[in-house]
Structure 1
């Protein structure tokens, strides 16, 4: 069985958890918070560029469930 890849990006208070195998590339994250999500950059998620509440609101709209968070 293939090990699930999980990437984590923190703003110090909230950690964004990204599971690339679940991602359907709907682009909702990039549309909502382009200052955080930029697929052309490494790392492509810069959680420190948005408030914790803005990140929570955006992550709740992820259609695939590829994005989640923990405090």
Structure 2
């Protein structure tokens, strides 16, 4: 079973699929206030705007990060 985790900033959900993650680190470099692998939860979506999150997620090379709107 593939694990999927979701983290919300109140407007969108950041969707993370750990099995797809290549650990490129682009997420951490772009938004260090959101992505911190040393913390639990490691994604704090509330620390960025929806536009910042969407921009960063679009640069994820593995597709491990995506987003969805509530009720979708």
Q: TM-score range by the shorter chain?
A: over 0.9
Q: CA deviation at 1:38?
A: 0.1
Matched, 1:37 2:21: no
Number of matched pairs? 69
- The whole-number CA distance in structure 1 between the counterparts of 2:52 and 2:11 is 13
In structure 1, runs of 5+ residues without a counterpart are: none
CA-to-aligned-CA distance 1:5-54 (integer Å, 9 cap, x gap):
00000001010000000000000000000000000000000000000000
2:49 aligned to 44, 48, 51, which one? 51
In structure 2, runs of 5+ residues without a counterpart are: none
TM-score for both structures, normalised by structure 1: 0.96
TM-score for both structures, normalised by structure 2: 0.95
Q: Supply the RMSD in Å over aligned alpha carbons.
A: 0.3
Which secondary structure state, in structure 2, belongs to the residue aligned with residue 55 of structure 1?
Answer: helix
- The whole-number CA distance in structure 1 between the counterparts of 2:68 and 2:5 is 13
Runs of 4+ in 1 over 4 A off after TM superposition: none
